[in-house]
Chains A and B, each alone.
Chain A
Amino acid sequence: MSTTDAPAHAPGPRTSRPALEVSHVDVSYAVKGREVRAVRDVSFSIARNESYGLVGESGSGKSTVALAVTRYMPRNGRVSAGSIEVDGKDLLAMSPAALRELRTRTVSVVYQEPGRALNPSMRVGRQVAEVFELAGADRRSARERAEAMLGRVQIADPGRVMGAYPHQLSGGMLQRVVLAMAIASDPALLVLDEPTTALDVTVEAEMLELVSELRRELDTSLLFISHNLAVVARMCDRVGVLYAGEVVEEGPARELFAQPRHPYTVGLLRCVPDPSARKGDGGLDTIPGFMPPPGAVAVGCVFAPRCALADDRCRTLAPELRDVGAHRSSRCHHAERAAELPRAERSPTGRARAVPGAVRTAGADGAAGTREPVLRVRALSTTYRSRGVAVRALAAVDLDLYAGETLGLVGESGSGKTTLARALLGLVAPDDGSVVELDRVALPADARRRAPAQLKALQMVFQDPDSALNRRWSVRRLVARPVRKLAGLTGAALADRVADLVAAVRMEHRHLALRPGQLSGGLKQRVAVARAFGGEPRVLVCDEPTSALDVSVQAAILNLLVDLQVREQVTYVLISHDLAVVRYLADRIAVLYLGRVMEIGPADTVFSGPHHPYTEALLSAITRLEGAADSRIRLEGEIPSAASPPGGCAFHTRCPVRLASGVCESVEPPLASVGGGHEIRCHIPVGELRRLQSGERDGDPVVAGATWRHPSGAT
Chain B
Amino acid sequence: MSVVAPAAGAALAPREREAAGGRGGLARRLVRSASFDVGCAILGFWVVCAVFGASFAPHPALAQSLLATNSPPSATHLFGTDQLGRDVLSRVIVGARSILVVAPLATVLGTAAGTALGLAMGYVGGVLDVVVSRVVEAVLALPMVIVALLFIVATGHSTATLVVVIGFVFAPLVARTVRAAVLGERELDYVAAARLRGEGAARIMFAEILPNVASPILVELTVRLGYAIFAVATLSFLGFGIQPPTPDWGADIAANYSVIPAGYWWETLFPALAIASLVVAVNLVSDGVEGVISS
A485: chain B residues within 8 A (beta carbon): 197-199
A566: chain B residues within 8 A (beta carbon): 3
| Closest residue on chain A to residue B213 by CB atoms | A472
B262 contacts A by Cβ under 8 Å: no
| Closest residue on chain B to residue A484 by CB atoms | B197
The contact string, 1 if C-beta is below 8 Å from chain B, for chain A 442-480, is 000001101010010011101110011111110000000
From A289, A517, A535, B11 is in contact (CB under 8 Å) with: A289
| Closest residue on chain A to residue B4 by CB atoms | A506
From A349, A467, A526, B189 is in contact (CB under 8 Å) with: A467
B19: chain A residues within 8 A (beta carbon): 517-518
B197: chain A residues within 8 A (beta carbon): 455, 481-482, 485-486, 535
CB contact under 8 A between A425 and B15, given known A504-B4, A556-B8: no
B18: chain A residues within 8 A (beta carbon): 293, 518
Task: Count A-B contacts at CB 8 Å.
Answer: 131
In whole angstroms, what is the CA distance A427 to B22 when docked?
A: 33
A464: chain B residues within 8 A (beta carbon): 189
In whole angstroms, what is the CA distance A460 to B191 when docked?
A: 12
CB distance from B205 to the nearest CB of A (A): 13
| Closest residue on chain A to residue B199 by CB atoms | A485
In whole angstroms, what is the CA distance A556 to B9 when docked?
A: 8
Binds B, one of A191-199, A216-224, A340-348, A657-665: A340-348
B13 contacts A by Cβ under 8 Å: yes
Interface residues on B, range: 20 to 34
The contact string, 1 if C-beta is below 8 Å from chain A, for chain B 222-246, is 0000000000000000000000000
Q: Are A448 and B10 in contact (CB under 8 A)?
A: no
CB-contacts of B10-24 with A (<8 A)? 10-16, 18-20, 22
B11: chain A residues within 8 A (beta carbon): 288-290, 305
In whole angstroms, what is the CA distance A458 to B197 when docked?
A: 10
| Closest residue on chain B to residue A471 by CB atoms | B212
| Closest residue on chain B to residue A502 by CB atoms | B9
Q: Are A293 and B212 in contact (CB under 8 A)?
A: no
B188 contacts A by Cβ under 8 Å: yes
| Closest residue on chain B to residue A451 by CB atoms | B198
In whole angstroms, what is the CA distance A292 to B14 when docked?
A: 7
CB contact under 8 A between A455 and B196, given known A514-B16, A519-B15: yes
Q: Are A468 and B190 in contact (CB under 8 A)?
A: yes
CB distance from A305 to the nearest CB of B (A): 8
CB-contacts of B192-209 with A (<8 A)? 192-193, 195-199, 208
In whole angstroms, what is the CA distance A425 to B5 when docked?
A: 32
Q: Are A531 and B193 in contact (CB under 8 A)?
A: yes
Q: Are A447 and B198 in contact (CB under 8 A)?
A: yes
A515 contacts B by Cβ under 8 Å: yes
B9: chain A residues within 8 A (beta carbon): 505-508, 522-523, 526, 556
In whole angstroms, what is the CA distance A56 to B4 when docked?
A: 28
Q: Are A470 and B8 in contact (CB under 8 A)?
A: no
| Closest residue on chain B to residue A567 by CB atoms | B3
In whole angstroms, what is the CA distance A125 to B249 when docked?
A: 63
A296: chain B residues within 8 A (beta carbon): 14
From A427, A486, A520, A563, B14 is in contact (CB under 8 Å) with: A520
A148 contacts B by Cβ under 8 Å: no
B195: chain A residues within 8 A (beta carbon): 426-427, 447-448
CB distance from B11 to the nearest CB of A (A): 4
In whole angstroms, what is the CA distance A506 to B10 when docked?
A: 7
In whole angstroms, what is the CA distance A566 to B193 when docked?
A: 24
B126 contacts A by Cβ under 8 Å: no
A686 contacts B by Cβ under 8 Å: no
CB distance from B33 to the nearest CB of A (A): 16
B7 contacts A by Cβ under 8 Å: yes
The contact string, 1 if C-beta is below 8 Å from chain B, for chain A 348-381, is 1100000000000000000000000000000000
Q: Are A460 and B193 in contact (CB under 8 A)?
A: yes
B141 contacts A by Cβ under 8 Å: no
Q: Are A467 and B13 in contact (CB under 8 A)?
A: no
In whole angstroms, what is the CA distance A522 to B14 when docked?
A: 12
CB distance from B253 to the nearest CB of A (A): 45
Q: Are A518 and B20 in contact (CB under 8 A)?
A: yes
CB distance from A475 to the nearest CB of B (A): 11
Q: Are A288 and B7 in contact (CB under 8 A)?
A: yes
The contact string, 1 if C-beta is below 8 Å from chain B, for chain A 559-590, is 11001001100000000000000000000000
CB distance from A465 to the nearest CB of B (A): 9
Q: Are B1 and A459 in contact (CB under 8 A)?
A: no
In whole angstroms, what is the CA distance A507 to B14 when docked?
A: 14
| Closest residue on chain B to residue A552 by CB atoms | B8
A329 contacts B by Cβ under 8 Å: no
From A468, A470, A560, B212 is in contact (CB under 8 Å) with: A470
CB distance from B24 to the nearest CB of A (A): 14
Q: Are A467 and B188 in contact (CB under 8 A)?
A: yes
In whole angstroms, what is the CA distance A467 to B212 when docked?
A: 12
The contact string, 1 if C-beta is below 8 Å from chain A, for chain B 71-105, is 00000000000000000000000000000000000
CB distance from A551 to the nearest CB of B (A): 14
Q: What are 21 A-B pairs at a CB distance below 8 A?
A: A289-B10, A291-B14, A296-B14, A345-B6, A346-B5, A347-B5, A348-B3, A462-B189, A463-B189, A467-B190, A468-B192, A468-B193, A470-B211, A481-B197, A485-B198, A503-B4, A506-B9, A507-B9, A514-B16, A517-B22, A535-B197
Per CB-CB distance, the 5 closest pairs between chain A and chain B, nearest first, are A506-B9, A288-B7, A472-B211, A293-B14, A468-B189
Known: A472-B212, A507-B9, A560-B8. 15 other contacts (CB 8 A): A286-B8, A289-B7, A296-B14, A349-B2, A452-B198, A455-B198, A460-B196, A467-B190, A473-B211, A500-B1, A503-B1, A506-B4, A517-B15, A520-B13, A523-B13
